[in-house]
């Protein structure tokens, strides 16, 4: 029997729903036959997959009715065997295709098989992390038509902060909104990455209240946060600190090209902040977020740092980052780390007049 076509799916190009909206849809429409789960928020993918698993086969006799194939590709005989497996003391079987790249499964045979999922079977495809389904492929269009294709990415601020607050509360700690802003700026907004940082803070802090100082001291700083520290150091003329932070990023595995790209992004945000300041638009937080992607604590840091520069200085800094990025990609006569050192010196030496 073909996969059910009665369930509506998100239209191509539609923005990702908040997780609560995905849950509401699942609860209202019930268990489907075919799911494609993808996106950078693996914590939510795990949570949703567990919900499907509970609904499809429950916990009792799950060992008999759960079948899993690992990617990135799937052999057709194994797929057919998993789909045709009859339920044992249950109404359903569940076939999980884990860490699969659905873009590699666009063949006619595979598509025909997914169009003929038995009525007792649910198939869940978890897209390989770091890759996205190509919406123009027939297999992806088919899944969206016959089943569900759900993207799990950064969650809306209110939902994310409610989740953060609850995780801290479960371990006896409180955290206010400004500190959550700092945490998300320092450690990123992905739940997957925040979980170990929340655990670390709860273990390290004896006080009930988590403060910004605790976050700065104990939480992992993602590369974007480190490059903001680098721009601040260079704005203050502190080349030694900028070099130290760069070395830490390189030791952590970041490539010089990636670090340069991050620096360029930060200076473009500072340039935008300076333009906003000169045009008296600092209060338009939504427009600044639309232009730069920065909001909350990140926007505040951008505006504060931009005050240390003139518009002409920031324009030159953006140009320097773009030039270094181009040379790193096209001119191998100078080593990458030497290019980075030259960039840091030029950015630091570029006078900071603060007007």
Query: Comparing 224 with 355, which gets the higher pLDDT?
Result: 224
CA distance 240 to 216: 20
> What confidence score (pLDDT) does residue 333 get?
85
Model confidence at 7: pLDDT above 60: no
What value does the mean pLDDT take over residues 87-112? Answer: 93
> What confidence score (pLDDT) does residue 355 get?
52
Q: Give the contacts of 142 (CB within 8 A, at least 6 positions apart).
A: 111, 114, 115
> What confidence score (pLDDT) does residue 123 get?
97
Q: What are the pLDDT digits (tens) for 41-98?
A: 999 999 999 999 999 998 877 789 999 999 899 999 999 999 999 999 889 999 999 9
Contact 126, 100 (CB under 8 A): yes
CA distance 170 to 198: 11
Model confidence at 2: pLDDT above 50: no
> What confidence score (pLDDT) does residue 309 get?
92
CA distance 324 to 320: 6
- Report pTM: 0.80
Secondary structure of the chain in HEC code, one letter for each residue: CCCCCCCCCCCCCCCCCCHHHHHHHHHHHCCCCEEEEECCCHHHHHHHHHHHHHHHHCCCCHHHHEEEEECCCCCHHHHHHHHHCCCCCCCCEEEEEEEECHHHCCCHHHHHHHCCCCCCEEEEEEECCCCCCCCCCHHHHHHHHHCEEEECCCCCHHHHHHHHHHHHHCCCCEECHHHHHHHHHHHCCCHHHHHHHHHHHHHHCCCCEECHHHHHHHCCCCHHHHHHHHHHHHHCCCHHHHHHHHHHHHHCCCCHHHHHHHHHHHHHHHHHHHHHHHCCCCCCHHHHHHHHCCCHHHHHHHHHHHCCCCHHHHHHHHHHHHHHHHHHHHCCCCCHHHHHHHHHHHHHHCCCCCC
What value does the mean pLDDT take over residues 97-109? Answer: 94
Task: Report cis status (omega within 30 of 0) of the bond before 72.
Answer: yes
- Worst-scoring range by mean pLDDT, 38-42, 49-53, 187-191, 336-340? 336-340
Q: Give the contacts of 96 (CB within 8 A, at least 6 positions apart).
A: 49, 53, 66, 67, 68, 69, 123, 124, 126
342 backbone dihedrals φ, ψ, rounded to 5°: -60, -40
Which two tokens mark 104? 């590699």
Please tell us whether the domain made up of 19-151 is placed in CATH 3.40.50.300.
yes
Domain assignments of the chain as residue spans, ordered by start: 19-151, 157-218, 223-349
Contact 271, 231 (CB under 8 A): no
264-268, 289-293, 295-299: range with highest mean pLDDT:
264-268
Question: Whose structure tokens read 């990123």?
Answer: 188
The CATH code of domain 223-349 reads 1.20.272.10
Q: What are the pLDDT digits (tens) for 133-171?
A: 999 999 999 999 999 999 998 898 899 999 999 999 999
Confidence of residue 352 (pLDDT cuts 50, 70, 90): low
Model confidence at 112: pLDDT above 60: yes
What value does the mean pLDDT take over residues 264-286? Answer: 94
The CATH code of domain 157-218 reads 1.10.8.60
What value does the mean pLDDT take over residues 193-222? Answer: 96
């Amino acid at each position: 029997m073909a996969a059910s076509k009665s369930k509506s799916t998100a239209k191509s190009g539609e923005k990702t729903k908040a997780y609560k909206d995905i849950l509401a849809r699942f609860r209202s429409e019930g268990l489907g036959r075919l799911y494609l789960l993808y996106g950078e928020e693996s914590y939510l993918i795990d949570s949703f997959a567990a919900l499907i698993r509970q609904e499809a086969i429950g916990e009792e006799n799950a060992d008999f009715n759960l079948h899993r194939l690992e990617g990135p590709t799937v052999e057709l005989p194994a797929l057919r065997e998993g789909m045709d497996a009859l339920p044992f003391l249950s109404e359903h079987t569940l076939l999980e295709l884990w860490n699969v790249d659905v873009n590699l499964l666009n063949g006619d045979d595979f598509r025909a098989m997914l169009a003929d999922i038995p009525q007792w079977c649910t198939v869940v495809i978890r897209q390989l992390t770091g890759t996205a389904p190509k919406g123009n492929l027939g297999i992806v269009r088919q899944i969206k038509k016959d089943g569900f294709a759900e993207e799990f990415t950064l969650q809306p601020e209110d939902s994310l902060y409610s989740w953060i607050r609850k995780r801290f509360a479960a371990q006896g700690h409180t955290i206010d909104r400004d500190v959550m802003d700092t945490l998300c700026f320092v450690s990123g907004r992905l739940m997957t990455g925040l979980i170990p940082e929340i655990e670390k803070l709860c273990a390290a802090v004896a006080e009930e209240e988590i403060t910004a100082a605790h976050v700065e001291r104990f939480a992992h700083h993602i590369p974007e946060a480190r490059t903001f520290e680098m721009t601040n150091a260079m704005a203050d003329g502190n080349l030694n600190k900028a070099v130290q932070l760069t070395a830490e990023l390189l030791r952590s595995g970041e490539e010089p090209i990636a670090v340069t790209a991050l620096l360029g992004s930060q200076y473009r945000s500072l340039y935008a902040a300076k333009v906003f300041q000169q045009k008296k638009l600092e209060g338009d937080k939504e427009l600044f977020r639309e232009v730069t992607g920065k909001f909350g604590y990140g926007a505040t840091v951008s505006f504060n740092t931009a005050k240390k520069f003139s518009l002409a200085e920031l324009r030159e800094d953006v140009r320097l980052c773009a030039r270094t990025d181009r040379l790193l990609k096209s001119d191998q006569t100078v080593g990458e780390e030497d290019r980075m050192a030259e960039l840091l010196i030029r950015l630091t030496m570029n006078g900071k007049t603060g007007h």
